Structure 1
């Protein structure tokens, strides 16, 4: 995948609609591939696509870090006033400064272990001299987003955003 420019950006508020999973839902290899397959097989991703105006369709995951665990969301970023389908939930991300990179993509890489994907992206940010908080689970905005743009049922690109904020109770990030 060819990476476009890595940059620090100001992200707007975003409204995630989908399902949340705990670390216990991860596959043996550390991916959430089975959870993605369940979302696909149940028709949930198509339901979310129908709520998202073209050309803004996306299949996204949101990782919320806490000091000792993560919460992994699968869904889509939708307009704030979009209905929430039965059995799904919402999570509103604040506007925030973030490290961001976009890459061309032909398919989703949901079968890769989460730690592998995350470490690759963090390494790109660090190479670009963007300071990444050491303790993400103790920051004000402990979020990492992987969002695949979908056009005509085809993945076109993926955007990775790591929210940057001051750690709470720590002085490791300003």
Structure 2
């Protein structure tokens, strides 16, 4: 089975601070999997988990992206980190993005990790538009903000067919 969207929903996120590390297209080796390996090897998620947690939202480790779609090559950023309460102090070596309270559109992408779950951006955007959630928020630099959420246990525990679920979200405009 190839990856497929199994759920589309709208969630509400409070004002929050995303804390992590920023990467660009220059850091790609195919994708950013090697950077995730660095995070686990260096215990960086453990450092962030000690800072607290956002209550009453779906959460997990986050691959946060933003770019101006009119100039993707020059503006694309890929961050690895976590959503944390606003005003949380970023530890040395980490950066942050403050995000306003907002609704987000979220797709659940089901499949095997090596079978296309990371290649569903266009499918999710189309599905969001079909569901009436096509008014995407841009930041002060005209960048859309979207993310992969590695929710436990959806992403970490395989179903009977060996599939996992990756959450894919995008910030919506008011």
Provide TM-score, normalisation by structure 1. Answer: 0.69
Per-residue deviation, 1:23? 1.2
- Equivalent in the alignment of 1:122: 125
8 Å CA contact 1:9, 1:97 repeated in 2: yes
Q: Which segments of 5 or more consecutive residues in structure 2 lack a partner in the other structure?
A: 158-164
SS of the aligned residue for 1:86 comes to coil
Paired residue for 1:59? 61
Note the 1:116-155 alignment, pairs <5 A: 116-131=119-134, 140=142, 142-150=144-152, 155=156
Q: Which residue of 1 aligns with 2:169?
A: 161
Contact 1:33–1:110 (CA under 8 A) maintained in structure 2: no
- Give the distance between the partners of 2:114 and 2:22, measured in 1 at CA: 15
- The 5-angstrom pairing of residues 1-174 of structure 1 reads 3=5, 5-27=7-29, 29=30, 31-53=31-53, 58-66=60-68, 67-68=70-71, 69-102=75-108, 109=113, 116-131=119-134, 140=142, 142-150=144-152, 155=156, 158-165=166-173
Distance 1:83 1:150, change over 3 A: farther
Q: Distance in 1 between matches of 2:59 and 2:133?
A: 29
What is the CA distance between 1:6 and its match in structure 2? 1.5
Number of positions where the alignment pairs a residue of Structure 1 with one of Structure 2:
158
State the TM-score, normalized to the length of structure 2. 0.69
RMSD across aligned positions (CA) = 3.7
Aligned-pair CA distance for 1:21? 0.5
Partner Cα distance (1:119, 1:52) in 2: 33
